[in-house]
Amino acid sequence: MAPNDLVSLEEMAAARERMSNAVHRTPLLSSRTAAQVLEASTGVRVAGGRVHFKAEHLQKTGSFKPRGMVSKVACLSDAERRRGIISFSAGNAAQGYAYAGAVLGVPVTVVMPEHAVPAKVAACLGYGAKVVLEGHVMGEVVAATERIREAENLVFCHPFDDRAVIAGYGSVALELLEDLPNADVVIVGVGGGGLISGVAGFVKQRQPEIRVFGVEPEGSDAMSRGLEAGRPVEIVPHSVADGLNAPFTGELSLAMTRRYVDGLFRVSEGTILAGVRFGFERMKQVLEPAGAAALGALLTGRIPVRDGETVCVILSGGNLDLSRIGEFLAAADPLPA
């Protein structure tokens, strides 16, 4: 894919304008304790003795997703809006489209796996979406989505591999650099690749010296496998981080990651849950596993941060399955005191 085919800064700025009234400008948090744990793990001392966090878990619906979904739905024609839209998701993108439909008056159907987090299903229903629970793995969910789309003549809206969606996600980085213009490192969790495509695409086109790293679960690494193969690869994802369980990455997100991301790191379930536990115990922030994967990777020394760098982690989601808190905390890898 040629550079001119990738999502531009201009597209990202336009997306911010069309969805700005429907989403929060999320705060930039920081933690001295996170910097101390990082130093204990790696010996690295970050700038100012603090790690910074873009708090997308405080976004509408509890994740970054509405930025992309409102951006996408706002681009549809009147005829497409009347037909209604359909998408698939493990949960957060479903909530994003349900919210976008509620805000913009568009009927929404979301297809989710049968084991989807009940709170995420309830949130979709609360926003007025029709929810179909079908399939045990995401490949089955995708197949069900296509069957329903054809039968009901709905407009398919992709959960991550779409120009308007990725442009909306770029607004995360736009705000981040407005609040932290001296950033040296940005760390992002990776599922299908929409968020890291938007974040890295904006960062590298605006301040190319900043390094952007992605974090994937070991059992849900569609992006890494796609980069290795040179094309999207279908997988059967399995991770406690359900929000990162994408069955594949797309052509556009793969191309943008290849061009703009400095490195991808696969991490264990224990590392991901260490991020959940640290957020809960030390930052007093409720993070779901997908939203804490980048944090866990940083604190356990998986990200190549250098002395004196200003580091920002994107906390991408906070829709934690409350019934599993004890399980998650018990399974977390220990961090240095």
Per-domain residue ranges of the chain: 3-63+162-331, 65-156
Mean pLDDT of 100-116: 95
Q: 15: pLDDT confidence band, cut at 50, 70 and 90? A: very high
Domains 3-63+162-331 and 65-156 share a fold: yes
From 31, 54, 60, 65, active-site residue: 65
Distances, alpha carbon 167 to alpha carbons 88, 92, 305, in Å = 19, 18, 27
Distances, alpha carbon 202 to alpha carbons 142, 176, 195, 196, 199, in Å = 29, 10, 11, 10, 5
- The model's pLDDT over 46-89, given as tens digits with 9 standing for 90+, comes to 999 999 999 999 999 999 999 999 999 999 999 999 999 999 98
Instruction: Decide if 268 is catalytic.
Output: no
Can you give the pTM of this predicted structure?
A: 0.94
The Cα–Cα gap between 326 and 262 comes to 35
The Cα–Cα gap between 311 and 102 comes to 36
The Cα–Cα gap between 290 and 295 comes to 10
pLDDT of residue 272 exceeding 80, the answer is yes
Instruction: Decide if 284 is catalytic.
Output: no
* Rg, the chain, Cα only: 18
Mean pLDDT of 217-231: 97
- Is 3.40.50.1100 the CATH classification of the domain at 65-156? yes
Other CB atoms closer than 10 Å to residue 105's CB: what's the count? 9
From 89, 220, 224, 316, active-site residue: 316
Other CB atoms closer than 10 Å to residue 2's CB: what's the count? 6
Give 223: exposed, middle or buried? Use CB within 10 Å, 0-12, 13-18, 19+: buried
- The model's pLDDT over 35-45, given as tens digits with 9 standing for 90+, comes to 999 999 999 99
| End-to-end Cα spacing for the chain | 46
Q: What angle (nearest 5°) sits at the alpha carbon of residue 157, between those of residues 155 and 161?
A: 145
Indicate the class that CATH gives domain 3-63+162-331.
alpha beta
pLDDT attached to residue 325: 94
